[in-house]
Amino acid sequence: MIRSFSIFTGSRQQIIKRILFFFLLACFVFPSFAQVDRTGPPQPGPAPQIHIGDYETFTLDNGMKVIVVENDKIPVVSFQLTLDIDPVMENEAKGYVSMAGSLMRAGTENRSKAEIDEEIDFIGASLSTYSTGVFASSLTRHTDKLLDLMSDVLLNPVFPQEELDREVNQTLTGLSTVLTDAGAMVGNVSTRLVYGENHPYGEVTTPETVSNITREMVADYYSTYFKPNVAYMVIVGDISTGQARDLMNRYFSSWEPGDVPFHTYETPEPPPGNTVAFADRDGAVQSVISVSYPVFLQPGDPDAINVSVMNSILGGGVFSGRLMQNLREDKGYTYGARSSLSSDRLVGRFNVSTEVRNSVTDSAIVEILYEMDRMASEPVDEESLELIKNFLNGSFARSLESPRTIARFALNIERYDLPEDYYDTYLERLSRVTAADVQQVAGRFIRPENSFIIVGGNKSEVAGTLEKFSADGKVQLFDPFGRKIEEDDAGVTEKPETKQGFEPFEEPTAGKVIDRYIRASGGAYNLSNITDKAIYMRGKVRGADLEIIIRHKLPDMYKMTIKRIVRGVDYIVQEQVLNGNLGMNASPQGFFPLEEHVITELKEEAIIIPELTYNERGFSLSLEGIETIEGEEAYKIVITGGPIDRTVTEYFSVSSGFKLRTEITRETPVGPVHQVTGYSDYRRFGAMTFPFRITQQLAGESFDMQVYSLEINENMPDDEFRLHPNVLQ
């Protein structure tokens, strides 16, 4: 079956040449015609007629629908398989569906993951899998080899347990960054509130749900939903329909069809009045703001183009958007403020997002709600309307340069039963959008009084200023993964039951908490007799195997060595060394002396047990209450003063006494950077106890290191801290 969509006739260069030719003709051949009226802006001309292009469709005997978009300009072909299925509730194992998709590529009955990777690399192709499909692309001459690999991955995955374990561990490492990422916190809270706990879109991946994932769940999802009778295969590139039909039958006709479950869910509704939610990111200097709620806007809705124009005027990715002009250009609150209004077969979503400094968080929310209200209450001026329509016109025209756009349009028409000329008439329908149309859809979709107002940031500075936006006058508190924190009548957050160990202090002080930590770690006598210490750790960073070795020796000797391990061979990528009042950075690029302020910081790092000498080194400690860290009650201690004038926040377990987390905000040339170090897996070493797992989040990166060796009082030689002669000159 042939469908006809269209494109501007001729290449882009030819079109430009024709425009210039007729422009010169008008200027020089017909100079006596009427003069152009420049007293006002030019009137828009008629919308250009376009034809998106041709595509053909056919269906295999097993029910797989195939869409072919021929494009022989370059010798490349791509295959996009998409499942047309309902989303699935994952409940207590949220995350297994996405892992089922990614692990399809982790090995088949015929090939290991390494063999798949090697064969794909050999032909210079790409092959990726996900929970609702597979994508593959290569040069045309490698099509048979590519489809052999793609069909093997699609039809014969084995989901190796070791690969699942690796993905679970990597996911857990990634989730650890959520604890210090206000943007991720707001995203999680928003997901739960906007869609609700009984909708698959409202589920949030947490360390607990990931830990519940099993291979059986992953394999069951694949066997239940990967069926050809709910699949579309979109082929784009240097291939004819006849060739495509032969290839599809050769590689995919053996794929067995089957019954696929259908799911229905209640459509989420906006709140009856504004609801304010807050996620605490202690120490944050900025607040992340989201104003969001569900909308019912399906693909192909008659108002879809009007909605696109309206959202673009409000803040949909253009600098002239009202939110950007108000919050950035006029008020100077932020670098950017955006809005989005998405369509979806089940439920869409409206969202405004921005990030502002703490002191103007409430003021920014006032302006966001003001601009939302203004969209529905005031008609847009014609100049702004035409500006946005021209922008959308150009964006649509540029998108047609990609053959994949044609494929996406074809798939949408087939999946959502859109009119065959839906995209052919896009520019014509766009040209007819009026100010009244914009105001009408704003009244339908913009709800400044029925929104979830979600903020992530410093609770002590910001949360109290937000009550006025809530319909019930309350600010609801949520943890980093969007779970509501209940409060009792006195406003005291409920804490989980204390684990076995020390009893909570009746009258805790910072000094008592530190003393308990020292006792839990081995006692002041044992700890104060440590003169040298070496910690050996291994872990992954961005998929790379790393080894980190940290050495201390009293007084004022410190060395950190970072190695990268490639095929069992380690390479030193960086070393930082302190020896008394001198220090150096060493890397493959050379040896460089440390600046004075870095040496001062490293002298603090060189102290093996800093808690033993807080008082004599001039630090001030204050107890700021109890908070929950990784599900465990912890005393929060704020440390100020000392040789480095900075604030350090540390958390000590109420039950075990051990240190759970350290937070430091460092000033850098690009602004403040928050560093969070977590400590867990405490183990006995002789008469003392130390953490054997150390995690760190810094500038969006996550490091998860496991200690594999520990050395204490091994008479470490001073030569271990020797500086390069270039540094001593």
* Number of independent structural domains in the chain: 3
125 and 224 both lie in a single domain:
yes
pLDDT band at 540 (very low <50, low <70, confident <90, very high): confident
Predicted confidence (pLDDT) at residue 557 exceeds the cutoff of 70: yes
Tens-digit pLDDT profile for residues 147-180: 999 999 999 999 999 999 989 988 887 888 888 8
Distance CA 159, CA 96 (A): 12
684 pLDDT more than 60: yes
Where residue 582 sits, what CATH number does that domain have?
2.50.20.10
pLDDT digits (tens, 9 = 90+) for 573-624: 889 999 999 999 888 888 888 888 888 888 888 899 999 988 888 889 999 9
**The predicted structure's pLDDT at residue 3:** 46
pLDDT given at position 33: 35
514 contacts 611 by C-beta, under 8 angstroms: yes
Task: Give the pLDDT band (50/70/90) at residue 572.
Answer: confident
Q: Which of 466, 73, 380, 6 is nearest to 239 (CA)?
A: 73
Both tokens of 617, joined, read: 């080194």
pLDDT digits (tens, 9 = 90+) for 624-655: 999 988 888 999 999 988 877 778 999 999 99
123 is a domain residue:
yes
45 has pLDDT over 70: no
Instruction: Report yes or no on 48 lying in a domain.
Output: no
H/E stretch holding 426? helix 426-431
Give the SS3 label for residue 567. coil
Residue 20's pLDDT is what?
Answer: 38
Q: Is the pLDDT of residue 108 over 90?
A: yes
Q: pLDDT by residue (tens digit) across 331-386?
A: 999 999 999 999 999 999 999 999 999 999 999 999 999 999 999 899 999 988 98
pLDDT, average across residues 392-416:
81
Residue ranges making up the domain that contains 343: 275-402+410-485
Last residue within a domain, chosen from 189, 221, 252: 252
595 belongs to a structural domain: yes
Task: Verify that 601 and 458 share a domain, yes or no.
Answer: no
Instruction: Name the average pLDDT for the chain.
Output: 86
pLDDT of residue 513: 93
Specify whether 209 is located in the same domain as 279.
no
What is the full DSSP assignment across 47-105? Answer: PPP----EEEEEE-TTS-EEEEEE--SSSEEEEEEEE-------GGGTTHHHHHHHHGG
Judge whether 495 lies within some domain: no
Residue 12 has pLDDT above 60, yes or no: no
Position 407 scores a pLDDT of 78
Residue 501 clears pLDDT 60, i.e. is over it: no
Tell me: do 627 and 696 sit in the same domain. yes
Percentage of the chain surpassing pLDDT 90? 56
240/280 same-domain check? no
Q: What is the CATH number of the domain that holds 242?
A: 3.30.830.10
The confidence score (pLDDT) of residue 28 equals 34
Mean pLDDT to the nearest integer, 270-297: 94
Q: Is residue 16 part of a domain?
A: no
Same domain, 424 and 555: no
Of the given ranges (265-279, 285-299, 455-469, 497-511), which has the lowest mean pLDDT?
497-511
The C-alpha atoms of residue 10 and residue 499 are separated, in whole angstroms, by: 74
Do you find a cis peptide bond into 555, omega within 30 degrees of 0? yes
**What is the CB neighbour count within 10 angstroms for residue 283?**
19
Between helices 304-314 and 382-399, what is the axis angle to 10°? 110
What's the rounded mean pLDDT across residues 554-563? 91
In terms of pLDDT, which residue wins out, 289 or 429?
289
436 and 563 belong to one structural domain = no
User: What does the pLDDT average to over 122-133?
Assistant: 95
Task: Give percent of the chain above pLDDT 70.
Answer: 88
- The b/e string for 164-198 (b: 16+ C-beta within 10 A; e otherwise) is beebbeebbbebbbbbbbbebbbbbbbbbbbbbee
Structural domain contains residue 20: no
Of 252, 286, 312, which residue is a domain's last? 252
Domain boundary, last residue among 192, 217, 252:
252
Residue 218 lies in a domain: yes
CA–CA separation, 92 and 205 (whole Å): 9
Same domain, 237 and 296: no
Q: Identify the pLDDT of residue 661.
A: 94
Same structural domain, 182 and 76: yes
Query: What's the mean pLDDT in 663-674?
Result: 72
Instruction: Note the pLDDT of residue 218.
Output: 97
116 belongs to a structural domain: yes
Note whether 467 and 534 are same-domain residues.
no
Write down the residue that tokens 């879809």 correspond to.
304
Q: Is the pLDDT of residue 22 over 50?
A: no
Question: Residues 241, 297: one domain?
Answer: no
Radius of gyration of the chain (CA): 31
The pLDDT of residue 4 is above 60: no
**Whether residues 463 and 524 fall in one domain:** no
pTM, 2 dp: 0.68
